[in-house]
Amino acid sequence: MKRALITGITGQDGSYLTEFLLSQGYAVDGLTRNTQPANTTRLNHLLAGNGAQPPALRLHQGDLLSTRRLRALIEQVQPDEIYHLAAPSRPGPAAEPPDWRGDITVLGTLHLLEALRRSGTPAKFFHAASAEIFGPAPPPQSETTPLAPASRYAAAKGHATRLTRIYRQRYGLFAANGILFNHESIRRSNRYVSRKITQAVAAIATGEQYYLYLGNLNARRDWGYAPDYVAAMWLMLQQPQADDFVIGSGQAYTVKDFVAAAFDYAGLDWQAHVRFDPRFYRPGETYCPQADIGKIGSVLGWRPRTCFQALIRLMVDAELKLKECAYQLTIDNRQL
Ligand code: NAP
């Protein structure tokens, strides 16, 4: 049985990756941060009703800034594969708190790579890099696009990406960067525009809300579906040699396209419900992501299975189902 260690297991990607790996027969160990209790909302369906962990899934607490702790964990778990997904989320420059620091993103990656190197464990290492490292580079962006980060988050991700390459080239680790473009799902935080839109569509469709306030409707993104992307992460670690790959859809759409498709799918007229709010506007945004997925397609045979329209349908359906469940729960509670 193969064993995987996942940092950031409690996040969107961590939870989908855990499901995927368990379905492939892996045993999964997840590192959570030292919070009591760990935030397992996205993993609860995999844990037993009493919160117990099934034998194939174990959670461990630990500090990503402690090489010693990480090394002990790697030596205890003896993973075949390590997926390093933990990083502070950053929905946009305006949302970066003033004391935001890239220490977990940069130093967490460094400590984990160093712990792996010192342990001598021959595990394959995946780092979740971000398309934001390319900054305002004109589309499409590929593995050879120069790094030009334009925010603190992007700069931190750029450093972590370079560290991963250094450990591959200089220390011979199997260490690979997946350069991820936006990927969404019902498990995405609603601080991101995709989820904010689909959540609002469900609330408007059920009469709980009337207006949705957004910033720049012309901002473009390359959006994909998170479960497709975790399969690409896994595929990258099944190769004989480590390499970096861009993981995206290859298509760019505007926020307005997203809004129109989501409202249309729910039978609503978006223009009646969407209003501009300058608080969500990011002036001078030159970021125009669109993945060139030629390399991952030709080398790994990966391509996203879920197109833009299907992603939106999936997300709106899931939001409506969540509302239905919440409504049913209220009815059930009233009957008690
Ligand atoms: P997510 O849902 O925000 O999950 C982030 C994970 O990192 C959570 O498990 C979180 O733990 C953990 N984390 C955050 N701050 C931490 C800290 N200070 N110490 C330890 N753990 C910490 O993100 P995601 O969408 O799954 O993304 C996974 C990775 O892909 C991230 O590295 C992200 O930067 C990268 N990425 C994602 C996208 C995307 O579109 N989703 C695009 C580009 C790159 P808690 O649950 O305890 O908060």
Indicate which CATH number applies to the domain containing 120: 3.40.50.720
C-alpha span between 135 and 179 (Å, rounded) = 13
Of 19, 81, 132, 184, the active-site residue reads 132
| 51 and 24 co-located in one domain | yes
Q: What is the average per-residue pLDDT within 273-302?
A: 91
One domain, residues 119 and 88: yes
Mutating to test ligand 1, I would choose from 12, 15, 31 the residue with most ligand atoms within 8 A of its C-beta, which is: 12
pLDDT at 45 over 80: yes
Would you call 66 a catalytic residue per the annotation?
no
Mean pLDDT calculated for residue range 307-316: 98
Mean pLDDT of 210-223: 96
Residue 208: which domain range?
A: 193-220+252-288+307-335
> Number of structural domains, the chain?
2
Give yes or no: residues 208 and 282 share one domain: yes
The verdict on whether 16 is a catalytic residue reads no
SS3 294: helix
Atom of ligand 1 nearest to the CA of 187: 2
Q: Is ligand 1 within 6 A of the CB of residue 128?
A: yes
DSSP 8-state assignment for residue 292: -
Residues 259 and 134 in one domain: no
Q: Which CATH number characterizes residue 215's domain? A: 3.90.25.10
Decide if 297 is inside a domain. Answer: no
Domain-embedded: residue 104: yes
- pTM to 2 decimal places: 0.95
What residues contact 79, with CB distance under 8 A and at least 6 apart? 3, 4, 5, 29, 121, 123
* Other CB atoms within 10 A of residue 170 CB: 9
Identify whether residues 21 and 166 lie together within a single domain. Answer: yes
Residue 295: inside a domain, yes or no? no
Is the C-beta atom of 160 inside 6 A of ligand 1? no
pLDDT of residue 37: 78
pLDDT digits (tens, 9 = 90+) for 175-192: 999 999 999 999 999 999
Q: Are residues 46 and 94 in the same domain?
A: yes
* Contact 246 CB / ligand 1 (< 6 Å): no
Distances in whole angstroms, Cα of residue 70 to Cα of each of 107, 108, 109, 110, 115? 12, 10, 11, 11, 6
86 and 130 fall within a common domain: yes
Q: Is 132 a catalytic residue?
A: yes
CB 216 within 8 A of CB 282: yes
Question: How close is the Cα of 267 to the center of ligand 1, in Å?
Answer: 33
Residues 236 and 318 in one domain: no
- Candidate from 6, 13, 100 with most ligand 1 atoms within 8 A of CB, to mutate: 13
CB contact set of 237 (below 8 Å; sequence gap of 6+): 81, 83, 124, 126, 174, 176
- Phi first, then psi, for residue 239 (nearest 5°) are -85, 155
**Higher-confidence residue: 131 or 283?**
131
Q: How confident is the model at residue 36 (pLDDT cuts 50, 70, 90)?
A: confident
Residue 136's pLDDT band, with cuts at 50, 70 and 90, is very high
The pLDDT, as a whole number, for residue 325 is 77
Structure tokens belonging to residue 173: 């680790």
